[in-house]
Amino acid sequence: MNIETFTTMLHCHAVEGVEVLTLFEDFECWHGMHIIHATFSIVVSSVFIIISLVVALTYFESKSASHDISARVNSRADVFIILMKIILIYIFAFLPYPEYHWFIIAVLLIVSFTAYFNYRNNWPYYSDRMNKFFCALTGIFLWANVILFIAKLLENTDFSGAL
């Protein structure tokens, strides 16, 4: 079970002037049983987020001589990644409309830049291989978002050939 399961109960869109649930279009949003289900999903997702953050903050190996490749100095970088995923899940769930594309791209650039420099400057793992792996992973995420920004910037440009 993940946080996206709970956000689907809150994701509504308009059909013929009536807000309906995206997955089940025969349910009208914020009327009847949907209020109970939406309230339950908000409460449970809040508890799930709190538990996930507490576990992530306390789950790290403090011994630098550990044989575990995933042993970390602290969990701050991983907690940021979890927060980033939560923020992005809610943004993509509730702002899927074209008028929010620039906002979404700005948020993606900010969080990917922060995630990259979290791993690049802090080196949270004892193992250099793990540090390099996550630095490369967040670097690819940053690069993809820079390319997304350039693609959005040039979306109305008509040209032939390569960039």
Per-residue pLDDT averaged across 140-152, rounded? Answer: 95
Cα dihedral angle (93, 94, 97, 101), rounded to 10 degrees? Answer: -80
Strand spans (E) along the chain: 12-15, 18-21
Per-residue pLDDT averaged across 79-103, rounded? Answer: 89
pLDDT at residue 150 in the model: 93
Residue 66 has pLDDT above 80, yes or no: no
3-state class of 28 per DSSP? strand
Q: For residue 50, what pLDDT band results from cuts at 50, 70 and 90?
A: very high
Q: What are the residues whose beta carbons fall under 8 Å from the beta carbon of 141, sequence distance 6 or more? A: 112, 115, 116
Q: Domain-by-domain residue ranges, the chain?
A: 1-58, 65-163
Compute CA distances 132 → 12, 20, 68, 124, 125, whole Å. 41, 46, 16, 11, 9
CA atoms within 13 A on the CB side of 38: 14
Per-residue pLDDT averaged across 132-159, rounded? Answer: 92
Residue 1 has pLDDT above 60, yes or no: no
Residue with tokens 């993509």: 92
b/e per residue 3-19 (b: at least 16 CB within 10 A): beebbebbebeeeeeee
Average pLDDT, the chain: 87
pLDDT at residue 115 in the model: 93
Residue 101 has pLDDT above 70, yes or no: yes
How far the first Cα of the chain sits from its last, in Å, is: 42
Helix/strand/coil (H/E/C) assignment for every residue in 16-27:
CCEEEECCCCCC
Say how far apart CA 84 and CA 86 lie, in whole Å: 5
pTM: 0.80
Q: For residue 162, what pLDDT band results from cuts at 50, 70 and 90?
A: low
